[in-house]
Structure 1
Amino acid sequence: MEDFHASASFDLQGADLRALRKARGLTLTALAERVGRSVGWLSQVERDLSSASVDDIAALARVLDVATSSLLALGGGQEAGRIVRADNRRPIGNRNPGLTEGLLSPDLTDDFEVIHSRFAPGARLDHAVSRPTQEVGYVVAGHFDLWIEETLFHLHPGDSFRLRGDLFRWANPYPETCEIIWVISPPVY
């Protein structure tokens, strides 16, 4: 689990929480029960009428199977919901060693999310996964090996790919970092 502090200037994004809950097919009642809170409290949090403690945010992230940072906003003001500055990108993911990801989308309230992924040399996903999503990836830099079902594809800068709920795994056995822009629908982080 990530380390974050109650004194940090982060706010829970109610709309993002709602989008993630719905993407997982959970009702307000089901999520509230799993985190040990009332439906009324959760409804107010989703509508930004109530706040959540550090422990609440950690519990929500655990139940939704996301990084705590996926529920937090960095900054605000006039740019909130419209602009994402390079130095104010929300970190997400963190399940695989050697993989760092940042949310390029302003939030998770659209029908899709845009992710910037960096795969360090040697990073790999050994066990194939499948997600109930449609995804398109574009290799910006480096090289990347992608298995879709059982077929191996060697990807290079400028190559792109699509996944539609397919079983996939990946590896970066190359000496340089690989950068990929992913568009994922519906949002899963």
Structure 2
Amino acid sequence: MNKIELDKAQSNITETNPARLGTRLKLARQTRGLTLKALSEAANCSESLLSKIENGKASPSLPMLHRLVQVLETNIGWMFEESDGEEGIVFRAGARPLIALDPLRRGEGISLERVIPYSQGHLLQCNIHHIEKDGASAGPIQHAGEEVGYILAGEVELTVGEKQFQLAEGDAFVFSSDLPHSYRNTGDKRASIFWVNTPPTF
């Protein structure tokens, strides 16, 4: 992404709407007949934090969100989708939503630029992960599927299972999503990863 495209994308940032995320989380929980306590225990998170998230007063970390959607048998993309309109075919540079994962906490320094919108009709999910300097994924993530990535810019340390890999622009990776994985920006500038994965299917 060149500077002009990056500036356009940054001006089109769609902050995660905590109220919308909380509403969808609560709907998924109630649809499955789970209490706050049952969901918090199954997803290994505090009941009080979960209550705050459902009320739009807190934002989950990426690993926590993965655990929640796994227990709720839904998809992380559905939690963030702003509209469920008619699918398109082409998504122009600078017009794709850039979703900040932690607008309330600002701890992870990660935003996801949607290459294609989430849809039940797609077999793959595809985003560009933008990781600010010193940003990280806040702990290991683990779910069903397969991951493929390509480093567009910057330097990244990728941890898969017990192994760590130092990656730079032009490097690529692939691994099974059921292996615990995390990443962090180890360079002195923003890093970007073109990331494709098979979404969990339950």
Q: 2:127 aligns with which of 96, 115, 118?
A: 115
Q: Structure 1's 124 and 144: CA in aligned 2 closer, same or farther, altered over 3 A?
A: same
Asked if the contact 2:160–2:180 (Cα under 8 Å) also holds between the matched residues in 1, the reply is yes
Q: Deviations over 1:132-157 (max 9, x none)?
A: 12010000111100111111100011
* Structure 2, unaligned runs of 5 or more: 1-14, 35-55, 57-67
Instruction: Report the TM-score, using the length of structure 1 for normalisation.
Output: 0.60
Asked if the contact 2:16–2:99 (Cα under 8 Å) also holds between the matched residues in 1, the reply is no
Q: Which amino acid aligns with 2:145?
A: T
When the two structures are aligned, how many residues end up with a matched partner? Answer: 144
How far the C-alpha of 1:92 sits from its partner, in A, is 4.0
How far the C-alpha of 1:81 sits from its partner, in A, is 2.0
Which whole-Å CA distance do the structure 2 matches of 1:122 and 1:67 have between them? 25
Q: Structure 1's 154 and 73: CA in aligned 2 closer, same or farther, altered over 3 A?
A: same
Q: Structure 1's 84 and 123: CA in aligned 2 closer, same or farther, altered over 3 A?
A: same
* Structure 1, unaligned runs of 5 or more: 7-16, 18-28, 36-57
1:91 aligns with 2:105: no
1:184 aligns with 2:197: yes
3-state SS of paired residue (1:125): coil
Q: Structure 1's 72 and 161: CA in aligned 2 closer, same or farther, altered over 3 A?
A: same
Which whole-Å CA distance do the structure 1 matches of 2:155 and 2:170 have between them? 10
Q: Structure 1's 149 and 5: CA in aligned 2 closer, same or farther, altered over 3 A?
A: closer
Partner of 1:71: 81
Q: 1:104 aligns with which of 79, 98, 115?
A: 115
Asked if the contact 1:142–1:156 (Cα under 8 Å) also holds between the matched residues in 2, the reply is yes
Instruction: Report the TM-score, using the length of structure 2 for normalisation.
Output: 0.57
Partner of 2:173: 161
Q: Which amino acid aligns with 1:103?
A: R
Asked if the contact 1:118–1:180 (Cα under 8 Å) also holds between the matched residues in 2, the reply is yes
Q: Which amino acid aligns with 1:91?
A: L
Asked if the contact 2:114–2:127 (Cα under 8 Å) also holds between the matched residues in 1, the reply is yes
3-state SS of paired residue (1:81): coil
Which whole-Å CA distance do the structure 2 matches of 1:103 and 1:141 have between them? 17
Which whole-Å CA distance do the structure 1 matches of 2:161 and 2:199 have between them? 21
How far the C-alpha of 1:175 sits from its partner, in A, is 0.6
Deviates more, 1:99-108 or 1:135-144: 99-108
Pairs within 5 Å for 1:7-156 = 32-33=31-32, 64=74, 66=76, 70-73=80-83, 80-92=87-99, 94-95=101-102, 97-108=108-119, 109-156=121-168
Asked if the contact 1:69–1:90 (Cα under 8 Å) also holds between the matched residues in 2, the reply is no
Asked if the contact 2:151–2:192 (Cα under 8 Å) also holds between the matched residues in 1, the reply is yes
Asked if the contact 1:67–1:94 (Cα under 8 Å) also holds between the matched residues in 2, the reply is no
Q: Deviations over 1:52-78 (max 9, x none)?
A: xxxxxx8xx98657477722239x68x
3-state SS of paired residue (1:127): coil
How far the C-alpha of 1:93 sits from its partner, in A, is 6.1
